[in-house]
Structure 1
Amino acid sequence: MGYKVVVVGATGNVGREMLNILAERQFPLDDIAAVASPRSTGDIIDFGDTGRELKVQNIEHFDFAGWDIALFAAGSGPAKIYAPKAAAAGCTVIDNSSLFRMDADVPLIVPEVNPHDIDGYAKRNIIANPNCSTAQMVVALKPLHDAAIIKRVVVSTYQSVSGAGKEGMDELFEQSRGIFVGDSSEAKKFTKQIAFNVIPHIDSFVGPDTDYDGYTKEELKMAQETNKILDPDILVTATCVRVPVFVGHSEAINIEFEKPISVKEAQALLREAPGIMLYDKREDGGYITPIECVGEYATYVSRVRRDPTVENGLVLWCVSDNLRKGAALNAVQIAELLGRRHLKKAA
């Protein structure tokens, strides 16, 4: 006996990836529904590589009663309206937007990091999926924190345009093509030209009446979400940068620990940790880049080295497919965890 699952926002980048991953991982299903905005109603989309096609249903008229799990990939606006309705109808919501992440009654889950926190989901019948940049970072931090207790993290991210949706990917493509043929490269989705450029600005700026004046909301999310998922005592400061890469987020992470930890110890821990693939060779090409992680489940860690500027410090490079571990894969893993621990319909 399987589950009845709804994918909300099924026609977007993350929604389509959710359908792909449900199919790839052979998630136990009795039924699957693709739901989106009225403008996509009636569209036909593939359910992964199963050969099955799904007709997109209108979110405004969809009845969540009788459905077990709803994977939301529709953004904060639709989530604010429809996630509580789905939850009230008895359908557990796993939401990919930022709307519920810092709600004290909503678990914020990365299954490799804080699986037991999911036990509080029944308060609202909603579970939050973290920010894409946070998800891969905490997977890498978890085994190191357990061993030596992290005091402070300084992270710089190099985030692909797919994090801004289809419009971001289209803009990078059109600007790149335009530059080669001599056309204009007007910025629409992003604040500046993204082709052959980097932009140190993701999301809006935080107001001046906070400790994070001058930071963006993306940078603030990384700090707040890491504290909620991993440990409230870890200090986190981030600089988030959009780069001209279609898929795959990269991060350079500086970590300061309370206890000594050697590079070899860290490598051994990372090598055995769930969700991580360590690829760390001291040679040309001995590291993973974004293009190599596309379509993969793992969070890749490379270039683990000592930070000689602090007493107990390490530096590492972390890469992951942001549409997968940063969004769709993590949501499906949450659904799997929910089934094992609570719903238990299927083996």
Structure 2
Amino acid sequence: MGYKVAVIGATGNVGREILQTLFERNFPIDDIVALASERSVGREVSFGDKKILKVKDLAKFDFKGWDIALSSPGAKVSAIHSPRAAAAGCVVIDNTSHFRMEPDVPLVVPEVNPQAIAGYKKRGIIANPNCSTIQMVVALKPLHDLGKITRVVVSTYQSVSGGGKEAMDELFEQTRAIYVNDAITPQKFPKQIAFNVIPQIDVFMDDGSTKEEWKMTVETCKILDPDIAVHATCVRVPVFVSHSESINVEFARPVSVEAATEALRDAPGVVVLDTREPGGYATPIETTGDDPVFVSRIRKDPTVKNGLSFWCVADNLRKGAALNAVQIAEVLASDYLKK
């Protein structure tokens, strides 16, 4: 017996990826509906190879009788409709930033803290973390179990798809404009993104960090361990899909490169690609469309006590968003809803 599943924000990058991931992983579905704003009503989205769904109006949709909603419509929209769905008895897995730091809403990465899913009963909502946080904590979890991480310094190299379809279009149009010598006027980004890097993702906060950097800090503490100190620098790069991260870790006790590598190889959702030769590491191009978090360039940091550094790459639309949400739904269905 399957579930009645609603996909909210079905016309966006993540919404479409959620539909594809549900199909690929053969999630038990009796009925599925695609929801979006009024302006998208009637548009068609694919569910698998053959089934086409016509988008319905989120604002008018009655969630009574529906089991699970996977929601990615933007934080302001989610603030209205996720509680409405939950009140109707539909458990919401919310991919926006709105509910992540609310204390009575679990923030979940299934490879890291699946037990937190049980907390959904308080509000009927489970939060999906930020894309850059997800891939980092998947890689940190086996290392934290091995040696207790005390501090993390991370620099991200985040693709434009994290900013949505308009951001991807802007990179494409700016790249084209450079080759035909057209003028470039940034719209989605504060500066030109084509052939450039921008050390700002989201708005600046009072301490000089950006909100994306703040998210990585507080979300890691909520998911993995409140005692870990995290310092992040988040950078947008001219890559269409997949985020990369350079991660430096300090442990409470010595951890060898060999032990760290073995722990990562054994960890769920992690693939170690580290041959220490030209090309023996993961990059965004070959990881796009794949589910795992790829870890490369694992090495000792001799400048600090008990330090290691590594390179981490993952498809931000899959593990960084859609796949993580569907994995949460899988645990929810198998361990809690149980039809």
Task: Using the TM superposition, give the Cα deviation of residue 48 of structure 1 relative to its aligned residue in structure 2, in angstroms.
Answer: 2.7
CA distance in structure 2 between the aligned counterparts of 1:327 and 1:184, rounded to whole angstroms: 34
1:292 maps to amino acid:
E
Match of 2:180 in 1: 181
Task: Using the TM superposition, give the Cα deviation of residue 150 of structure 1 relative to its aligned residue in structure 2, in angstroms.
Answer: 0.2
CA distance in structure 2 between the aligned counterparts of 1:108 and 1:27, rounded to whole angstroms: 21
Task: Using the TM superposition, give the Cα deviation of residue 60 of structure 1 relative to its aligned residue in structure 2, in angstroms.
Answer: 1.1
1:28 maps to amino acid:
P
Match of 1:48 in 2: 48
Task: Using the TM superposition, give the Cα deviation of residue 341 of structure 1 relative to its aligned residue in structure 2, in angstroms.
Answer: 1.4
Match of 1:327 in 2: 321
Task: Using the TM superposition, give the Cα deviation of residue 92 of structure 1 relative to its aligned residue in structure 2, in angstroms.
Answer: 0.2
2:186 maps to amino acid:
A
Matches within 5 A, 1:97-176: 97-176=96-175
Match of 1:5 in 2: 5
Task: State whether structure 2 residue 218 is matched by structure 1 residue 224.
Answer: yes
Matches within 5 A, 1:282-293: 282-293=276-287
How many residue pairs are counted as aligned between the two chains?
339
Runs of 4+ in 1 over 2 A off after TM superposition: none
Match of 1:36 in 2: 36
Structure 2: gaps of 5 or more residues = none
1:285 maps to amino acid:
G
Q: What secondary structure sits across from 2:217 in the alignment? A: helix
CA distance in structure 2 between the aligned counterparts of 1:259 and 1:2, rounded to whole angstroms: 47
Task: Using the TM superposition, give the Cα deviation of residue 259 of structure 1 relative to its aligned residue in structure 2, in angstroms.
Answer: 1.0
Q: What secondary structure sits across from 1:30 in the alignment? A: strand
Structure 1: gaps of 5 or more residues = 208-212
Deviation string 1:1-41 (CA, Å, 9 cap, x unpaired) is: 00100000000000000000000000000001000000000
Q: What secondary structure sits across from 1:283 in the alignment? A: coil
Match of 1:254 in 2: 248
TM-score (norm 2): 1.00
CA distance in structure 1 between the aligned counterparts of 2:87 and 2:260, rounded to whole angstroms: 44
CA distance in structure 2 between the aligned counterparts of 1:256 and 1:65, rounded to whole angstroms: 48
Task: Using the TM superposition, give the Cα deviation of residue 101 of structure 1 relative to its aligned residue in structure 2, in angstroms.
Answer: 0.3
1:294 maps to amino acid:
T
Match of 2:71 in 1: 72
CA distance in structure 2 between the aligned counterparts of 1:200 and 1:235, rounded to whole angstroms: 21
CA distance in structure 2 between the aligned counterparts of 1:245 and 1:216, rounded to whole angstroms: 20
Query: What RMSD, in angstroms, separates the aligned Cα atoms of the two structures?
Result: 0.5
Match of 2:288 in 1: 294
Percent of aligned positions with the same letter in both sequences? Answer: 67
Q: What secondary structure sits across from 1:305 in the alignment? A: strand
CA distance in structure 2 between the aligned counterparts of 1:146 and 1:238, rounded to whole angstroms: 22
Q: What secondary structure sits across from 2:14 in the alignment? A: helix
CA distance in structure 1 between the aligned counterparts of 2:296 and 2:239, rounded to whole angstroms: 19
Match of 1:90 in 2: 89
Match of 1:25 in 2: 25
Deviation string 1:216-274 (CA, Å, 9 cap, x unpaired) is: 00000000000000000000000000000000000000000001110010000000100
Task: Using the TM superposition, give the Cα deviation of residue 81 of structure 1 relative to its aligned residue in structure 2, in angstroms.
Answer: 0.6
1:101 maps to amino acid:
R
Q: What secondary structure sits across from 1:318 in the alignment? A: strand
Match of 2:189 in 1: 190
CA distance in structure 1 between the aligned counterparts of 2:253 and 2:338, rounded to whole angstroms: 40
2:337 to 330, 336, 343: 343
CA distance in structure 1 between the aligned counterparts of 2:96 and 2:44, rounded to whole angstroms: 24
Match of 2:227 in 1: 233
